[in-house]
Amino acid sequence: MLDFSSVNGSEFIKRTKRFARKSGRSWRFDPSVGKGSHGRLHVGGRFTTVPRKEIGKGLLAAMLKDLDIDKEAL
């Protein structure tokens, strides 16, 4: 399970890749889409924008909702 108190973008990307592999969903991260240190993460048919810095609880919850992933799955 993902620790909601401290997670950075790189850790989130790594965990979603593992989740996608286990669930049989497609996965792709495109660092060229987004400004600065942000990139676009695609899981299945959904996507979200991921910052490389520390991700707060609210943003993390919104990103999981964008990707239709239950926080318990990560």
- Strand pairing partners for 40? 30, 49
Structural domain count, the chain: 1
Q: What is the CATH number of the domain that holds 57?
A: 3.30.920
Tokens of 56: 């707060």
Tell me, yes or no, whether 31 lies in a domain.
yes
Q: What is the signed CA dihedral for 35, 46, 25, 23, rounded to 10 degrees?
A: 100
Q: Which residue has the tokens 């490389």?
A: 52
For residues 74 and 63, give the distance between their C-alpha atoms in angstroms, rounded to a whole number: 12
Supply the pLDDT for residue 18.
95
Supply the pLDDT for residue 2.
59
Which structural domain, as residue segments, surrounds residue 55? Answer: 7-68
Entry pTM: 0.87
- Taking only the tens place, the pLDDT of each residue in 20-64 is 999 999 999 999 887 778 999 999 999 999 998 899 989 999 999
Tell me, yes or no, whether 73 lies in a domain.
no
Tell me, yes or no, whether 19 lies in a domain.
yes
